[in-house]
Amino acid sequence: MTPIRGVLFDWGDTLFSPPDAGSVIVAAAAERGVHIEATKARALWDELWVAGKMPEELAKGRDLSADAHREVWTALFERANGAVPDIASTLYERVMDPRAWIPYPDTAPTLRALRSRGVRIGIVSNVPRDLRPIFTAHGLAELVDAYTHSFEVGAEKPDPRIFLRASEALGTLPRDTLMVGDHPVADAGAIVAGLRFYLLPPDGAPDAPRGLDRVVAIVDASQD
């Protein structure tokens, strides 16, 4: 097997962690004069988030434009309106805005470790807007060589086309490129495109390392 010359990362739940949606639900409920227990709020969000990763939701084209993204996610979040009246739009604004997401503790160290090894680094994500300003805001822009966004490509993961475009943007061959992500369906589409793939373990606490050091180990092992 040839050495890995480029690594593509998913963005959300891979390099960046979302806001504490449970706390958002509790606060939004209080604003409406509704009390909801923190555990119930967390369970409600977990149910929504899992539903949002199902194939039927992924197939709705939500990441091909900003309008589609808002429409599809807000429609899904309306399932929570029974527990907290009219919370759908609030959830979208406070949780789905990329500016509210933060890097995991091991994101920057991992990107720097790869950079020190001369490995090309790219971001490939199903998103309706440009992620470059987000990486710039967190001081990570200089560690990324290329961005491939679904809304620009006109294709969403797991469509092989987006991975091929991402590999091309990196300047690496698919067989020499590793895709790293958290979704066993969307991110695993890289395999069909001829890339290697590493599925991260389930997400932990927002302030806990994501386990990205394993990516560096995989890259190092490929050099032998």
* 141-192 tens-digit pLDDT: 999 999 999 999 999 999 999 999 999 999 999 999 999 999 999 999 999 9
Instruction: Say if residue 206's pLDDT is above 70.
Output: no
Mean of all residue pLDDT scores within the chain: 94
Amino acid symbol at 220? D
Averaged over 71-77, what is the pLDDT?
Answer: 96
pLDDT tens for 10-23 read 999 999 998 889 99
Q: Which residue has the higher pLDDT, 122 or 59?
A: 122
φ, ψ for residue 114 (rounded to 5)?
-65, -40
Instruction: Say if residue 3's pLDDT is above 70.
Output: yes
Instruction: Say if residue 1's pLDDT is above 80.
Output: no
Q: Which residue has the tokens 């004069």?
A: 33
User: Cα–Cα distance between 157 and 11 in angstroms, integer?
Assistant: 12
Domains and CATH numbers, the chain: 6-17+101-222 (3.40.50.1000), 21-99 (no CATH)
Report residue 45 as tokens.
């969000």
Picking from 125, 166, 158, 173, the residue whose alpha carbon sits closest to that of residue 10 is 125
User: Cα–Cα distance between 35 and 164 in angstroms, integer?
Assistant: 48
The answer to whether the predicted template modeling score (pTM) of the entire model surpasses 0.85 is yes
* C-beta separation of 182 from 18 below 8 A: no
Number of other residues whose CB lies within 10 A of the CB of residue 6 = 25
pLDDT at residue number 224: 79
pLDDT at residue number 53: 87
pLDDT tens for 104-136 read 999 999 999 999 999 999 999 999 999 999 999
User: Cα–Cα distance between 177 and 192 in angstroms, integer?
Assistant: 13
Q: Give 170-200 as a DSSP string.
A: HT--GGGEEEEES-TTTTTHHHHTT-EEEEP
